[in-house]
Amino acid sequence: MCGIYGIINDKNNQAAQNVLEGLKKLEYRGYDSWGVSVISRDQIKIDKHIGKIGEAMTNLPSGLIALGHTRWATHGGVTDLNAHPHLDCTKKIAVIHNGIVENYQEIKEELIKKGHQFVSETDTEVIAHLIEEKAKTKTINEAVFETFKILRGSNAIAVLDYESQTIIACRNGSPLVVGLGQGQYFLASDVPAFLKETNTVYFLNDGEAVVLSKSGVKLFDIDSEKEKILTLQTLDWKLEDAEKNGYPHFLLKEIYEQLKTIPKTTSINEKEINKLTEKIKGGYKIILTGCGTASYCALATKYFFATQGVESQAISSYEFMPFSKFIDKKTLVFAISQSGETADTLIAVKEAKKRGAEIVAVINARGSTLERLADTVLSVGAGPEIAVVSTKAFTSQLSTLYLLSTAVADKFEEGKNKINKLGTVLTNLLNPVLINRLIDTAKNLMNEEHMYLIGKHLNYPATLEFALKIKETSYIHAEPFAAGELKHGVITLIQKGTPCFVLASQDEVKDEVLSSASEIKARGGLIIGVAPFESNEFDVLIKTPDLGSLTIFANIIVGQLLGYYLGVGRGADPDKPRNLAKSVTVK
């Protein structure tokens, strides 16, 4: 939620413009409004607007130091005034913020009593005034650290201070990373903002602060306010990872990247796989958890484990608590997350840890909170996922967990071969004939208000993910059901011409799924089969390859592409769907 980007010592003396360009790379984190502040001569100047950054330009003056923000609104409507940065009364302190200040009302009341004037409805503005108040008797660093300690909730703040010409940032629960370039220093909520300048970084831990000044970057422990040693790391990310590379949208680029990222999961750290395999064979309980797409990955993995004769549970992280009492020291909790920063997932993980579980993080982004909380990290290596809608991270997580399930059944080499072949099969799948068929199908469905999806066994989680892709990218109501559920009520929704996707595989439940399809067809539904075989029940067939239990990967990619073409056709922004943010760092 919310993107933060700041530069010290901009090499072109155009810090505001360059912050704006960097923010465009972070816009996936929030796009209700944006704003940039710059230190110019004797004051801080601010430019802020509602809406997406898109091709925005700023007339802010030149300068060496700037700090900006893209907002996903929590407190206060989407207005220019509520956009960040927010200033104190002296207009010498500008603050941007990612998170929610849970106690902002009480802080605000105190500050109003002391004469502070508020201009916005946000929780963030109290931070600027509280720092101003404290800086009357303390250094700016002390004022920021002490203010931060008063804030309740999960927050990251960044402060542009005119007097000291510094950017001071504190982290508790929301991501922050510093980048060290050649004489330039960067602060961001994610690496793509500054990747074209440097890949030398430090990811802040909770309870840490950084002070970026013209002479460099200093790291602090917020509680003790003491300086700490800053240990840098060099990332192996390439610039093209954060660029569209000729694709019209990141979403399409990332869908195609799966042809490589799925097979890449076979280079997983085998030591970790072996250790986990031993534990599972030794009788550890398995709980799989995550939110949204990651929760569908959890559910699909439960089917993979069941196929190999291993029992597991899949629990959405936001429904975790009632079941946490069954966790003990012999429980492995697999926390699945692209970002590693999803608040609901982190809450579930912290609860599981308290109860003695071992945490296995199945994550894509690096340097996250989840990575730090975990006992074992299965890094799925799909590279930066910029589109808000998750695609390649999902299939890499699924593939990684599929490989683990094969290892538990002593079929790891066989599993790896299958996943390696999948890359080639999927490359053949995405041929012009299929793409044209998907584009035609999208054109025919463009004006529909509702569509339904059915699937059974592994194709059931596939319908959940397929439907989410359609909803997120095209805003069409797409509702997924287990095929067996149909006759228990859902069938009332079917009318003449209602589109219904039937996800099927060449498996033992194929006939049951086709029976459900024929029940829909008999009520006038339009049946679109997504399957590796022809059938009289299908009015349209989107043919996928017969990959046994791995057919789910092909079926999902069809859903991702269809969602993309529907979204583009309906004029939605496939990279930044309305109301969404890439990582949901609030409860």
Nearer to ligand M6R by C-beta: 74 or 342?
Answer: 342
Q: How far is the CB of 82 from ligand M6R (least distance, A)?
A: 24
**R_g of the chain, CA atoms, integer Å:** 25
Nearer to ligand M6R by C-beta: 308 or 338?
Answer: 338
Residue 582 a catalytic site member = yes
292 binds ligand M6R (CB under 6 A): yes
Choose the stretch contacting ligand M6R; rule: CB under 6 A; options: 88-96, 301-309, 388-396, 505-513: 388-396
What residue type is 246 in one-letter code?
Answer: G
Contact 36, 53 (CB under 8 A): no
CA distance 323 to 309: 22
Q: How far is the CB of 385 from ligand M6R (least distance, A)?
A: 9
Choose the stretch contacting ligand M6R; rule: CB under 6 A; options: 4-12, 105-113, 291-299, 425-433: 291-299
The alpha helices in 114-183, defined as continuous H runs, are 125-134, 140-150
Nearer to ligand M6R by C-beta: 347 or 430?
Answer: 347
166 binds ligand M6R (CB under 6 A): no
Choose the stretch contacting ligand M6R; rule: CB under 6 A; options: 7-15, 94-102, 339-347, 352-360: 339-347
204 phi and psi, to 5 degrees?
A: -70, 145
CA distance 490 to 494: 8
- Can the peptide bond before residue 574 be classed as cis, meaning omega within 30 degrees of 0? no
544 binds ligand M6R (CB under 6 A): no
CA distance 542 to 526: 13
Q: Record the tokens describing residue 19, joined without a space.
A: 């912050």
348 binds ligand M6R (CB under 6 A): no
472 binds ligand M6R (CB under 6 A): yes
Task: Give the number of other Cβ atoms within 10 Å of residue 158's Cβ.
Answer: 29
Nearer to ligand M6R by C-beta: 140 or 388?
Answer: 388
Among 124, 312, 390, 560, binds ligand M6R (CB under 6 A): 390
Q: How far is the CB of 411 from ligand M6R (least distance, A)?
A: 28
567 binds ligand M6R (CB under 6 A): no
Nearer to ligand M6R by C-beta: 86 or 392?
Answer: 392
* Continuous segment of H or E residues that includes residue 487: none
Nearer to ligand M6R by C-beta: 111 or 378?
Answer: 378
Residues 6+ apart with CB under 8 A from 48: 33, 34, 35, 36, 80, 83, 84, 85
Contact 121, 82 (CB under 8 A): yes
30 binds ligand M6R (CB under 6 A): no
* Continuous segment of H or E residues that includes residue 365: none
Nearer to ligand M6R by C-beta: 347 or 491?
Answer: 347
Contact 166, 360 (CB under 8 A): no
Q: How far is the CB of 175 from ligand M6R (least distance, A)?
A: 11
DSSP assignment of 214-230 equals: TTEEEEEETTT--EE--
3-state secondary structure (DSSP) of residue 81: coil
Choose the stretch contacting ligand M6R; rule: CB under 6 A; options: 67-75, 399-407, 513-521, 577-585: 577-585
3-state secondary structure (DSSP) of residue 172: strand
Among 345, 474, 505, 585, binds ligand M6R (CB under 6 A): 345
CA distance 553 to 510: 17
291 binds ligand M6R (CB under 6 A): yes
Active-site hit among 48, 279, 582, 587: 582
Residue 297 a catalytic site member = no
3-state secondary structure (DSSP) of residue 563: helix
Residues carrying an active site annotation: 2, 582
**Residue ranges that bind ligand M6R, judged by CB under 6 A:** 290-294, 337-339, 342, 345, 388-390, 472, 580, 583-584
